[in-house]
Amino acid sequence: MSRKVKVLLAGAAFAADLHADAYSRIRDKAEIVAIVDKNIERVKELALRYGFTGYVPYSDIDEALEKTECDVVDICLPNFLHASVAIKALEKGFHVICEKPLATKVEDAVKIIETAERMGKKVYYAEDWLGSPALNKALELIEKGGIGELKFIRARECHSGSHSPFAQTIEYCGGGAMMHLGIHPVGFVLALKNNRWESLTALTSGGLEKNLMHKGMEGEDWSAALIRFEDGTTAVLEANFVTRGGMEDYIDFYGDQGCLHVDLTFSSALRGFSIPGFDYTVEKAELTTGWSRPAVDERYNLGYVSEIAHFVDCIQKNCDAKVGLRGIDGLEAVKVIHLIYKSAREGIHIKNEALGVR
């Protein structure tokens, strides 16, 4: 058996908790050797929650990178820190796993990829939708011709607003709902079509006073894009912070001989009614009273477990991840997000000149 992959986990808050849960399920393959977060108590609480022992806690990322012997740095920090930490980790000779988005700016994402190439290291882009069992089953059915030729995809991620203060400011988040949530449907459909999109058109609510609900948020709280791919397939992608009742991850596939509908968040074998409220139902649900469908192993179903396991396997083999989970795919997703913003801001239809489309 290959030796365990040694992981430095950068961050100990929401995203880090998702990744820590995944690592806790593959202890035979991966070992958390260090955790860094400016709140050292949060580090200890995360480790205790998942039973991690033998790790070194740090409150400073530079110190952690300098002193830790590891194979990979898993970046679960606020968006605006992704690029600087990724570049530092790569220059130290470590592989990198990076949560979405790869960076807030296209030029920073490019620097990450260029640094990885220069250092001979891998960048793994954590798009959890590509690890979802339900979505992978849907893709298997489509590949086998179950709905005929795929013609149209509709995908969205929506909820009532981020818990993170960083999501309120473009400087820290990189945008609004499309960058924070829409990065998932964008990254997913780009992966399906190997990043070969042809043209796009978009609208957003506009930010601040132009927003539908969140007037204090610099980025948009509603956004949508139409994208056409080289093979003629069309996709409608939506992201918003105006959806009440919990997170919605819906993906619909339409073929010339059938259709498939995937619900990543509200599909559950459980259905219950509670007057006092359940302790948890689904991510971002404001209420748990009345009728609800409490999630069963939500993180597994959303794809985090499979995603992290895939990265660990790739690191052991020193190979790239599958399409959609590579650093270059994270770069392409950031590029498209910024073009969506350009289309909405300038009211223009954008064609992909890289494919020779004019």
Give the CATH number, domain containing residue 123.
3.40.50.720
pLDDT attached to residue 1:
44
Quick one: 159 and 282 in the same domain?
yes
Quick one: 150 and 73 in the same domain?
no
pLDDT band of residue 358 (cuts 50, 70, 90) is low
Sheet strand arrangement including 95-99: 56-58, 30-36, 5-10, 72-75, 95-99, 123-126
pLDDT attached to residue 266:
87
Separation between Cα atoms, residue 224 and residue 207, nearest integer Å: 14
pLDDT band of residue 192 (cuts 50, 70, 90) is very high
Residue 69 lies in a domain: yes
| Residue that is last in its domain, among 128, 144, 176 | 128
pLDDT attached to residue 354:
84
Residue from 101, 99, 278, 118 nearest 183 by CA: 101
pLDDT band of residue 164 (cuts 50, 70, 90) is confident
Residues 281-291 have a mean pLDDT of: 94
Name the percent of the chain lying above pLDDT 90.
Answer: 95
User: In the predicted model, is pLDDT for residue 170 greater than 70?
Assistant: yes
pLDDT attached to residue 357:
67
Separation between Cα atoms, residue 121 and residue 124, nearest integer Å: 10
pLDDT attached to residue 267:
85
Quick one: 155 and 233 in the same domain?
yes
Quick one: 99 and 213 in the same domain?
no
Quick one: 100 and 226 in the same domain?
no
Indicate the average pLDDT of the chain. 96
* pTM score of the predicted model: 0.95
Residues 88-104 have a mean pLDDT of: 98
Residue type at 59 in one-letter notation: S
Quick one: 207 and 91 in the same domain?
no
* 4 C-beta neighbours (distance < 10 Å), count: 16
pLDDT attached to residue 162:
85
Q: What angle do CA 325, 161, 186 make, to 5 degrees?
A: 30
Structural domain count, the chain: 2
Residue type at 36 in one-letter notation: V
User: In the predicted model, is pLDDT for residue 33 greater than 90?
Assistant: yes
Separation between Cα atoms, residue 187 and residue 322, nearest integer Å: 13
pLDDT digits (tens, 9 = 90+) for 312-355: 999 999 999 999 999 999 999 999 999 999 999 999 999 998 88
pLDDT attached to residue 355:
83
Sheet strand arrangement including 258-263: 258-263, 248-255, 150-158, 234-240, 222-229, 197-204, 350-351
Q: Helix or strand or coil: residue 58?
A: strand
Its domain, for residue 215, covers 130-303+335-355
